[in-house]
Every structure is written in C-alpha cells, then in structure tokens.
Amino acid sequence: MKAIQIVEGSLVWEEIKLPEPKKDEVLIKISATAINRADLAQRAGNYPPPEGETDILGLECSGIIVKVGENVSENRIGEEVCALLAGGGYAEYVCCPSIQAIKTPTNLSLIESASLPEVFATCWLNLFLEGNLSQGQNILLHAGASGIGTAAIQLCSSFGANSFVTVGSEEKLRFCLELGSKQGVVRGEGAFEEINSWVKSGFDLILDPVGGDYFSNNQKILGLEGKLVIIGLMGGITSEINLGHLMMRRQKIIGSTIRARHKELKGQVMKDLESKVWPLIEKNEIKPVIFKTMNISEIEDAHKLMLNNQNIGKIVIEIA
C-alpha cells in the first residue's frame, strides 16, 4: 500500500508494507482522513506517537472494513466506518481496534465522515466525561472556529449549555455566532476583560488548546467549581498558577489528550458518539464543519492552510 512518509521533512507518498490486523482489530481501506493540529506537532518532532503505534501521521479516517482480526465478527467486513486512530490515517489502509471504528451517520458521505472522529471524540471526552457539562452551564471555547471549536459549539447548543468563543478573526467570529455561540471576541489585547464581562459568576468549563499565557487569565474567569481542560499548548508550557483561586473557588485544572488513552476508553467514547451524537447529525441538528476537501497529493498545501490558521472547521483529505 501507499502511505505518507516524512522524508527529510517533506511528506512523500510512498509504497510501504500493508499492515495486518491484530486479533481485536479491523483493517480499513481508507476513503479519507482529516488534518489535526497534532499532525503538525508530530511532523515537527514534538508529539511522538504512543509506544507501539505506527509513526504514520493521521489520527482519524473513514473507509470500508476489508479484513478483521480473529476476535472480530466477519460480519463487519464491508461496513462503512469512521475511526479514531492513534496514527496511520495518511495511508491507503490502516489497522485499528474494532471498537474505535463505528458506523458513519446515514446522511453523510464516506468522505465527509472522515471529519468526525477526532473532533467529536475530543469534545465528547472533554465536555462530558472530563467536564461533566450540564444544562444551563456557561462554556468558554478558545479557538472557537477550529474543528474542535465548531463541534463543541453545536454540542453545547444541543445539550442546553451556553457557548462563548475566542477566535482569530472577525470572519471566524461571525461564523461561530451563526453556529450558535452566545458571544465571542477576536483574540488580542483586552479580549479577556471583555470575556470577563459576559458571565459574572465565571465560567463552568473552559476548553483551552492554548495553555501558556492564557492560563492565568483562564483561571481568573473560571467560576466556582469551574473546570479548565487543557487540550493543547499552542501558547507555551509554563505559567503561574494562583493556588488561592484554585482552592477558594474549588477549581479543577485538567490536562487531557485522547491519543494515548486506553483503547477501552476510546471505544466507550466512540460508542457514545454513535448512540448520542450521530442521531443529532442525522437530524441535521449538528453539522460537521468542513472547510475544504483536498486530495492526498495536496497534503503539503493542506498542512500550510492549518499552520496559517486559515481554516474554519476541518480540512478533509481524500485518499481514494
């Protein structure tokens, strides 16, 4: 099969060995994958794959199951699925645990479905399992126009919570407000002062891919028993923490990644998505936000788009 290899820093489509599914795995013939910021970090050498996982980029895909391991029912062969991967999506075929590959929503194409696993699994894990999101809560989403942001805005609306966003441009802000955010602000000087005026009692949950210099401000606007979930470190890895705020407001600071989690947890998250979120997609209440669909031959351009923060929502990559 062919797969993207990193050769002297460049992404090259090369022939490599077809993987063989282990006993709890399926082999998927990939229709499409999608780009994540983590791919850029891995390519730059800053986010190595978990031990024992492929070093091929790509944390999600859609496609058709063509082979199964000995513990997986052969009935799955031929199934159209989308899958959460620990790596390997930039390829013609990939193996993953059977529980991480779920049916695609009936109203989406196989190509469109490649946009779903990573953002919806990340949002489900962090908003619901880590964040205990509940009705009427106020949720702040940094990078609101990202894949994760646009999925989170819609999940908040569907589950009765109020979402607020920070974004990188006026265009992105308009998009997020149309998608369902209550209020938003373009990041930069004075942004946190404005955010602070929206919810007097402080936020119940902040989903933050920035870290670094956002941390202190996040802590200031986090309310009583509020949860700050750090899912990325675009802004750096150190900050000052105010333990007085932490204790008196009984705040929780949570570091979260999904890639290195046990497959059982990933399987549970995917099962939740299939039963609780796909029905909302099928009712058109939640729509995946796809910025652009490109071909694997354009992968370098696709990476540049994300590196320059030009996308609103997901960049999908057709493989076949």
- Of the candidates 188, 189, 240, 284, which one interacts with a second copy according to CB under 8 A? 240
Q: Report the alpha-carbon angle 154-160-161, nearest 5.
A: 75
- Compute the least distance from the CB of residue 247 to a second copy, in Å: 4
Assess 253 for contact with a second copy (CB under 8 A). Answer: yes
Assess 238 for contact with a second copy (CB under 8 A). Answer: yes
- The stretch among 14-22, 103-111, 251-259, 297-305 that binds a second copy (CB under 8 A) is 251-259
For a second copy, the closer CB: 74 or 240: 240
Assess 263 for contact with a second copy (CB under 8 A). Answer: no
Length of the chain measured in residues: 320
Assess 265 for contact with a second copy (CB under 8 A). Answer: no
Cβ proximity of 164 and 181 under 8 Å: yes
- 307: Cβ–Cβ under 8 A, 6 or more apart, which residues? 40
For a second copy, the closer CB: 164 or 214: 214
Number of residues that bind a second copy (CB under 8 A): 31
- Compute the least distance from the CB of residue 272 to a second copy, in Å: 19
- Of the candidates 2, 76, 249, 292, which one interacts with a second copy according to CB under 8 A? 249
Cβ proximity of 31 and 296 under 8 Å: no
Stretch 192-231: interaction string toward a second copy, x if CB under 8 A: -------------------xx--x--------------xx
Please give the Cα distance from 3 to 309 (Å, whole number). Answer: 25
Q: Is 288 helix (H, G, I), strand (E, B) or coil?
A: coil
Query: Which one-letter amino acid corresponds to residue 14?
Result: E
Q: Give the DSSP per-residue string, 177-236.
A: HHHT-SEEEESSTTHHHHHHHH-TT-EEEEEES--GGGHHHHHHHEEEEEEEEE---TT-
For a second copy, the closer CB: 250 or 271: 250
> Please, where are the H alpha helices in 55-129?
110-113, 117-123
- Compute the least distance from the CB of residue 154 to a second copy, in Å: 25
Assess 250 for contact with a second copy (CB under 8 A). Answer: yes
C-beta neighbour count of 86 within 10 angstroms: 22
Assess 12 for contact with a second copy (CB under 8 A). Answer: no
- Of the candidates 76, 252, 263, 292, which one interacts with a second copy according to CB under 8 A? 252
Query: Which one-letter amino acid corresponds to residue 67?
Result: K
- Of the candidates 109, 158, 256, 309, which one interacts with a second copy according to CB under 8 A? 256
Binding site for a second copy (CB under 8 A): 211-212, 215, 230-233, 236-257, 260-261
